[in-house]
Amino acid sequence: MRYYLALTCLIWLSHLVAFPFEHAYSQAPNLTSQNQTKTSKVGVLAFRGVDVTLSNWQPLARYLSDSIPGWQFKLVPVTLGSASHEIENERIDFLITNPGHYVTLAERFGLSALATRERPSRNSDRNLLEYGSVIFVKKQSKISALNELKDRTIAAVSPDAFGGFQIAWNELQAQGIDAFTDLKSIRYMGFPQDAIIAAVLKNEVDAGIVRSGLLELIASEGHLKLEELRVLNANSQFDYPYRISSRLFPEWPFAVLPGTNKKLREDVLKSLLNTQSEKVSRKYKLRDIWSAPLSYDAVRSLIKSYNHRTSQNDRISENINYIYAFYAVLAILVSAGFLIAFMVVRRKNTISQPAETTESVIQDPELLEVRDKFETLTPREREILILVCNGQQTKKIAEELHISPKTVEYHRTNLLQKTEAGTTAHLVQLATRLGYDQGVSLG
């Protein structure tokens, strides 16, 4: 009996001592949940630069973080080129980008669209699910129609930019203009697109291409007077509230990468659709809301046609490059022959006179000026220059550097523009003389 009473007292005392700890633990569940918070990264195409992108999309990241327990959402600004690297290295779970970029990446990485962006219009009470391209000139320009752009210079974002080039390319095709052969030149200026508008206003190019709505946005920020520009093919969409030169395509998708947590994917989808609530969008000051995903078949069709045309350009370019390479080698051999003959004659006539050195050649003012132009090349452009000098063709360069053939052509164009070489053969000749074919400068 005594043992039973002692055991009972011991159990009672143990419960009495343990109660405060159990009670304290039960009152602090949030501490555990905070320690379990995970981070999900959302890539966003920074078509107006990193700072503007972070400012514009931060409200959405904050809304998703608040509406999905246990998750914190972080924005990752990306470019048309860097997005694929972020995906390959599994550094993002979701991606917000233009539809052409999405279609290209979806085919390569298996992305799928959760929702389509719905943008409030500044010029009407409508929400817009579609957009297009604007092809514009300075108001004083004599160009009044798309077919007058032949033999003119035009500025665009890049060969891979959907609203910043590819939609406009499609529109020019419909008007009987091949942008790659009928234009005098295409100046790819990258992001932000604001630089394209500035180039037109400064008469650096004859025309520019940007996505629809951007002109009005920059004007609302006080950085542009719309009357300074004139839009070509402006009657293409009578009921569209923004200036536009093309047909319309679905707005940007909110895409998810394969392998993303199923529960997270479903929670993000629900939260995106809940932005249709005016209470939610107003509380978080969301610039855009999200709708059920539209079909991107029209985008796929355009991209397919565009890739077919650019692949033809690649084949033509490869054939031309073979010819350039042949003549470059021939020119080097002929030059070498003349140099040997000259040195033999010179040695006979003036044995005591020192031979001309590489250092004296570099002192040539004209060659020094050329070298200064080569020094402005970016590391990527120098990589491509070395491969071009070694006779590599566009597809081989793209495979070796893990970039698209269109991106290689973009850098080729920059090489010719920056060095003012004019042709690939002349570019190779100059690079070889200065030592850039080996990645170094003789200077």
Instruction: State pLDDT tens for residues 389-441.
Output: 887 888 888 888 888 887 888 888 888 888 887 778 778 878 877 878 765 54
199 pLDDT above the threshold of 50: yes
* pLDDT of 20: 44
* pLDDT of 423: 78
pLDDT tens-digit readout, 55-99: 999 999 999 999 999 999 999 999 988 999 999 999 999 999 999
288: CB partners within 8 A, 6+ apart: 60, 117, 118, 119, 120, 275
Between 300 and 358, the higher pLDDT residue: 300
Q: How far, in Å, CA of 63 to CA of 349, rounded?
A: 84
Q: What is the dihedral of CA 317, 322, 328, 331, to 10 degrees?
A: -130
Confidence band (pLDDT; 50, 70, 90) for 336?
A: low
- Region 224-241: mean pLDDT is 92
Domains within the chain, CATH numbers bracketed = 36-127+251-295 (3.40.190.10), 130-249 (3.40.190.10), 311-438 (1.10.10.10)
- Region 222-238: mean pLDDT is 92
236: CB partners within 8 A, 6+ apart: 132, 171, 244, 245, 246, 247
12 pLDDT above the threshold of 50: no
Q: Residue 433: count other Cβ atoms within 10 Å of its Cβ.
A: 19
What's the chain's average pLDDT? 83
pLDDT exceeding 90 applies to what percent of the chain? 55
Say if CB 318 and CB 395 are below 8 A apart: yes
* pLDDT of 355: 39
242 pLDDT above the threshold of 90: yes
- Cα three-residue angle 246-250-255, rounded to 5 degrees: 140
Long-range contacts of the stretch 360-368 (C-beta < 8 A, 24+)? 361/433, 361/442, 362/434, 362/442, 362/443, 367/433, 367/434, 368/443
Between 409 and 7, the higher pLDDT residue: 409
CA 241 to chain centre: 26
| Positive/negative CA dihedral, 398, 402, 403, 404 | positive
Stated pTM of the model? 0.65
- The two beta strands, 253-256 and 112-120, are antiparallel
Say if CB 61 and CB 27 are below 8 A apart: no
pLDDT exceeding 70 applies to what percent of the chain? 78
277 pLDDT above the threshold of 60: yes
* pLDDT of 123: 73
**Least confident segment among 125-129, 149-153, 190-194, 331-335:** 331-335
Q: What share of residues in the chain are helix, strand, coil (percent, to 5)?
A: 55, 15, 30
177 pLDDT above the threshold of 60: yes
Between 353 and 285, the higher pLDDT residue: 285
* pLDDT of 361: 43
* pLDDT of 378: 87
Q: Residue 138: count other Cβ atoms within 10 Å of its Cβ.
A: 17
- Region 324-350: mean pLDDT is 59
186: CB partners within 8 A, 6+ apart: 153, 154, 155, 156, 179, 180, 413
pLDDT tens-digit readout, 14-60: 444 444 434 443 444 444 344 589 999 999 999 888 999 999 999 99
Between 343 and 427, the higher pLDDT residue: 427
9 pLDDT above the threshold of 70: no
* pLDDT of 269: 98
Confidence band (pLDDT; 50, 70, 90) for 333?
A: low
